[in-house]
């Protein structure tokens, strides 16, 4: 997986992301709302990863299934690791 840094084609990233996570929306209004949130999250990820490349961060960020959600919408616990023994 490649590190997300700018510049990127936001529309292309959106289309690829929706396909990867099987996302669809009930109407155009909801899709536009989710796209705006996705775009904002994508820009934050890019800025973070550029700081990582400059040695200012110790980790990278990537898109995930929650990338069309505002922070308060992400389920409590977010991406928790579940051990399968």
The string of pLDDT tens digits covering residues 21-68 is: 999 999 999 999 999 999 999 999 999 999 999 999 999 999 999 999
pLDDT confidence band for 7 (50 / 70 / 90): confident
Alpha helices, DSSP H only, in 5-75?
A: 10-20, 28-53
pTM over 0.85: no
CB 59 within 8 A of CB 52: yes
Cα separation of 55 and 75, whole Å? 31
Mean pLDDT of 74-82: 65
Question: First and final CA of the chain: distance in angstroms?
Answer: 27
- CATH number given to 10-73: 1.10.287.2250
For residue 70, give the 3-state DSSP assignment.
coil
């Amino acid at each position: 997986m490649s590190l997300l840094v700018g510049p990127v084609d936001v529309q292309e990233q959106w289309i690829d992301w929706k396909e990867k996570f099987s996302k669809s929306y009930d109407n155009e209004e909801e899709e536009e709302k989710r796209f705006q949130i996705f775009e904002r999250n994508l820009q934050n990820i890019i800025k973070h990863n550029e700081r990582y490349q400059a040695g200012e961060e110790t980790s990278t960020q990537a898109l995930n299934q929650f990338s069309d959600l505002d922070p308060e919408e992400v389920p409590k616990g977010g991406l928790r690791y579940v051990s399968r023994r």
